[in-house]
Amino acid sequence: MSPIRETDQFFRSIVQTIREALIILTPDLKVRFANDAFYRFFATEPARTLNQLIFNIGRGHWNVPPLHELLEKIQMEKAELKDIEVFQIFEDIGEKTMIINARRLVDQSDPGSELILMAIEDATERRILERERDEAFRSREELIGIVSHEIRNPLTTITTSLDIIRLLLPKTGAPLQIPKMIDNIYTSARRMERITTDLLDMTRIDAGELEIKMEHVPIQELAEEVMGLYEPEARALGIHFYLKRSPLTE
Amino acid sequence: MPCQSILIVEDEASIRENLKMMLELAGYSSIFTANDGKQGLETLKTLPHPCLVLLDQLMPVMNGMEFLEAKRHEDAIAAIPVCIVSGVAQQPTSKNLYEHFLKKPIDLTTLLSFVRLYCGEPNPKEAAS
């Protein structure tokens, strides 16, 4: 066996194991070689493919505008293609997203001429999954947005009612514990509000759309609020919680 | 001319009533309400010297943004300041149509600071506290 033939066979046995569809074309776009993955992808077979003009193989799969243009570009401009994504709906094999790479090779059997090697990655399933994931993110964000809005209205009724009670309380001579109870309800309502905001933020983080805003916060108020949230639980566990004011926080 | 009539446009009855009561308790006496943007627009045209509109965003019949668009084209009421009071997390983008955006649940102090800005100090005799 000649060294060229040996190399050729070695090359063929390697490319048959590759999951990506590979095809080698002559300069006039006839199929010199295709691997099994290519035949599977385009639902065709060697007898109907080899030595055929690429535009005629299968059901004219390569005779559609985006692929036709791509092949012309490779042929005329001798261009190399890197990660060109092509989406096409074929009558027989359905919707396909292909990522195409192409480069020119020296023809071992005719060193004066060049061949065209094309690798076609089937990205259909990946793109469908990505689309479904994006849609799921969107509908989850939409749902959380609606829930958040729906919760904000009853929360507004709660907090404004508490504001009114606070304004009226001095006139009523209510027991001393009442203002503390009102504060607790108010804090809990604000906590619920924060949960809805956090939920919205979480969906935005997942979607990579969170906008971070820097703002000044009165640290004393924030610390008091956090303490107010955990103080009842801490007290129940016998933990004493206290807040020490520092001149820096004034 | 003292300008103290305030219009609340809000479809949720409990919020509408609470906002009205809060403003009255704070000393503002001339508070009007509307259930949706359309009613709000009609009421606004009849008010004596309105100084501020508190506007919800999502409402039936005519929503907050439609109200603002319609108001913009009515010379007599176009300049009346609007504070959006909304449960929608995102602030509307057409900022030239309103003055402020308050997210629900609202903070009373912030609300009153906006009201004071456009309607002046409340009448101490009217204040309930």
Enter the ipTM. Answer: 0.82
- The answer to whether residues A151 and A226 belong to one domain is no
Optimal mutation site among A161, A167, A215, interface B, most CBs of chain B within 10 A: A167
**Average pLDDT rounded to a whole number, residues A26-51:** 88
**Average pLDDT rounded to a whole number, residues B33-52:** 91
pLDDT in tens, B95-121: 788 988 888 888 888 888 889 888 888
Inter-chain residue contact A152 with B104, CB threshold 8 Å = yes
Q: Please, are residues B84 and B102 in contact by the beta-carbon 8 Å criterion?
A: yes
Using the 3D structure, point to which of A122, A142, A174 is the last residue of a domain. A122
Q: Please, are residues A67 and A96 in contact by the beta-carbon 8 Å criterion?
A: no
User: Which neighbouring-strand residues pair with A31?
Assistant: A25
Q: CB contact, 8 Å: A27 with chain B?
A: no
Q: Please give the interface size between A and B, counted as residue pairs whose CB atoms are below 8 Å apart.
A: 64
Single-letter code of the amino acid located at B62: M
Closest-CA residue of chain A to B23: A164
Q: Please, are residues B116 and A171 in contact by the beta-carbon 8 Å criterion?
A: no
Q: Give residue A202's pLDDT band: very low, low, confident or very high (50, 70, 90).
A: confident
Q: CB contact, 8 Å: A101 with chain B?
A: no
Tokens at residue A146, please? 């609606």
Query: What pTM does this model have?
Result: 0.60
**Average pLDDT rounded to a whole number, residues A135-160:** 85
Using the 3D structure, point to which of A122, A157, A177 is the last residue of a domain. A122
- The answer to whether residues A90 and A156 belong to one domain is no
pLDDT in tens, B13-42: 999 999 999 999 888 888 999 999 999 999
Q: Give residue A193's pLDDT band: very low, low, confident or very high (50, 70, 90).
A: confident
Q: CB contact, 8 Å: A179 with chain B?
A: no
B52, containing H or E segment: strand B50-55
- The answer to whether residues A87 and A185 belong to one domain is no
Inter-chain residue contact A155 with B105, CB threshold 8 Å = yes
Which among B94, B118, B114 has a CA at the least distance from the CA of B103?
B114
Inter-chain residue contact B87 with A163, CB threshold 8 Å = no
CATH number of the domain to which A86 belongs: 3.30.450.20
Inter-chain residue contact A163 with B22, CB threshold 8 Å = yes
Kindly report the backbone phi and psi dihedral angles of residue A103, in degrees, each rounded to the nearest multiple of 5, phi listed first: -150, 165
- The answer to whether residues A7 and A114 belong to one domain is yes
The beta-carbon contacts of A161-169 under 8 Å, at least 24 apart in sequence, are A161/B14, A161/B18, A162/A186, A162/A189, A163/B18, A163/B22, A163/B108, A164/B18, A164/B21, A164/B22, A164/B25, A167/B22, A167/B25, A167/B26, A167/B128, A167/B129, A168/B25, A168/B128
CATH number of the domain to which A202 belongs: 1.10.287
CA distance A1 to A41: 32
Q: How many CB atoms lie within 10 A of CB A46?
A: 13
Inter-chain residue contact A157 with B128, CB threshold 8 Å = no
- The answer to whether residues A90 and A17 belong to one domain is yes
The three-state secondary structure class of A90 is: strand
pLDDT for residue B58 is more than 70: yes
pLDDT in tens, A129-138: 998 988 888 8
Give the residue carrying structure tokens 């508190």.
B54
Between A161, A190, A197, which is nearest B18 by CB?
A: A161
- The answer to whether residues A92 and A140 belong to one domain is no
CA distance A181 to A129: 51
pLDDT at B3: 62
Q: CB contact, 8 Å: A161 with chain B?
A: yes
- The answer to whether residues A116 and A10 belong to one domain is yes
- The answer to whether residues A143 and A168 belong to one domain is yes
Number of domains in chain A: 3
Print the domain residue range for A245: 214-250
pLDDT in tens, A101-128: 888 887 777 777 788 888 999 999 999 9
Which residues on chain B place their C-beta less than 8 Å from a C-beta of chain A? 12, 14-15, 18-19, 21-22, 25-26, 58, 87-89, 103-106, 108, 128-129
Q: CB contact, 8 Å: A188 with chain B?
A: no
A147 contact residues in B (CB cutoff 8 A): none
pLDDT at B129: 45
Distance (Å) of CA B106 to CA A64, A189, B91, B101, B129: 59, 11, 14, 10, 20
pLDDT at A200: 78
Strand order of the sheet with strand A114-122?
A31-34, A21-25, A114-122, A94-106, A81-90
pLDDT at B83: 93
Using the 3D structure, point to which of A83, A98, A122 is the last residue of a domain. A122
In the predicted model, what is the mean pLDDT of chain A? 83
Inter-chain residue contact B15 with A193, CB threshold 8 Å = no
- The answer to whether residues A89 and A28 belong to one domain is yes
Q: How far from the centroid of its chain's Cα atoms is residue B20's Cα?
A: 10
**Average pLDDT rounded to a whole number, residues A145-170:** 87
- The answer to whether residues A85 and A113 belong to one domain is yes
B21 contact residues in A (CB cutoff 8 A): 164
- The answer to whether residues A97 and A115 belong to one domain is yes
Kindly report the backbone phi and psi dihedral angles of residue A21, in degrees, each rounded to the nearest multiple of 5, phi listed first: -75, 130
CA distance A137 to A205: 10
- The answer to whether residues A38 and A96 belong to one domain is yes
Q: CB contact, 8 Å: A169 with chain B?
A: no
